[in-house]
Amino acid sequence: MHFSFYTLLFFSCLSGLTLVAGHGFVHEVDVGGQTYPGWNPSVDNYSGAVPGVVRKVASDGPVVDFTGANISCNVGGSDPGTKVAEVSSGSPITFDWSYWPSDHQGPVTTYMASCGGDCTTFNADNARWFKIDAMGYQDGQWAANKLITNNASWTSTIPAGLAPGQYLARHEIIALHSNPAQYYPSCSQLKVTGSGTGQPSDSDLVSMPDVYSNVQYPDIYTDSPAQMQAFVVPGPPIVTFDGTAPASNSPEPSLSSNSSSTATAATASSDNGTTMIPQTSYPTPMPSSAPSSSCSLGSRKLIRRRSLVKRH
């Protein structure tokens, strides 16, 4: 099995000009003043390790069957780890990625879900998620690029005022260099402390395969910055429990009041989980702009269709 996995990866990389080190996984989570190791699939799979705070991932690649339960917490991550990380509401949580390739551009999103008690016995398949952080294309770059320039790490904030209890934090990069998009989720088990009483409302909560059905992603190779900026990260708005604005990183529900039609379109489409975006597909990356096609798993010749952003 081990060899066939690498053999497969090797051959999928051969079509590119260069091989890259891989895609990436969350190799450390910093939260509540502690650092917890991530699940390193190429080591921990074979060492007899058991997952602690950070749940398993099958590989450093994307979740291939993203229309099923594996999209929740990656392949192997439905099953619990043995530990929870204690953290007070309103505190940061940093996800350190082992590596992130520069051609894997796209949104970064962090969700949480109540474990309904004990995360160390909680199966993630039926989790209902609320969004705590999201960034698409903003300030001239995709969120993944911001992550790369921040030492391949991303910091989200446990919402201030969130009621104490055990929660999963689900952090994810969505890479748009191939079609379909590639999903790289990672789940960590948290015990949130504090005196908050905030609970997500029904409209804040989504089920994980559902939220990604029928999303039209922008074409990162040919769309204009305005078109990419108009893209609203899928899912509900970011929760707030204490009346303050959502923490950094999020343009939603309203983009910085740039009175262009793209901002208007984005705002208009963010009322619910459905995202109205130009319908595009992805050409095979040009060699000059694509250091690797190791990961162009879904790249294929597609006829590009363009429809206009829906205008209200």
Closer residue to ligand NAG in complex, CB, 89/250:
250
Are 242 and 161 within 8 A, CB to CB? yes
Site string (248-287) toward Cu ion, x via CB under 5 A: ----------------------------------------
Count residues binding Cu ion (CB under 5 A): 2
Would you count residue 190 as binding ligand NAG (CB under 6 A)? no
Instruction: Give the integer Cα–Cα distance in Å for 170 and 187.
Output: 4
For the CB of residue 92, give the shortest distance to ligand NAG in the complex, in Å.
14
> What residues numbered 200-239 form the site for Cu ion, per CB under 5 A?
none
Q: Is 140 left (phi over 0), alpha (psi -120 to 50) or beta?
A: left
Please give the DSSP secondary-structure letter assigned to residue 248: T
> What residues numbered 112-151 form the site for ligand NAG, per CB under 6 A?
151
Closest CA to 171 of 133, 208, 119, 207: 133
The strand pairing partners of 167, in sequence order, are: 114, 190
Would you count residue 294 as binding ligand NAG (CB under 6 A)? no
Site string (62-101) toward ligand NAG, x via CB under 6 A: ---x--xxx----xx-------------------x-----
Please give the DSSP secondary-structure letter assigned to residue 261: H
Alpha helices (runs of H) in the chain, residue ranges in sequence order: 2-14, 41-47, 70-73, 143-149, 208-211, 225-229, 261-268
For the CB of residue 40, give the shortest distance to ligand NAG in the complex, in Å.
9
Contact residues for ligand NAG (CB under 6 A)? 2, 5, 28, 41-42, 45, 58-59, 65, 68-70, 75-76, 96, 151, 256-258, 271-272, 274
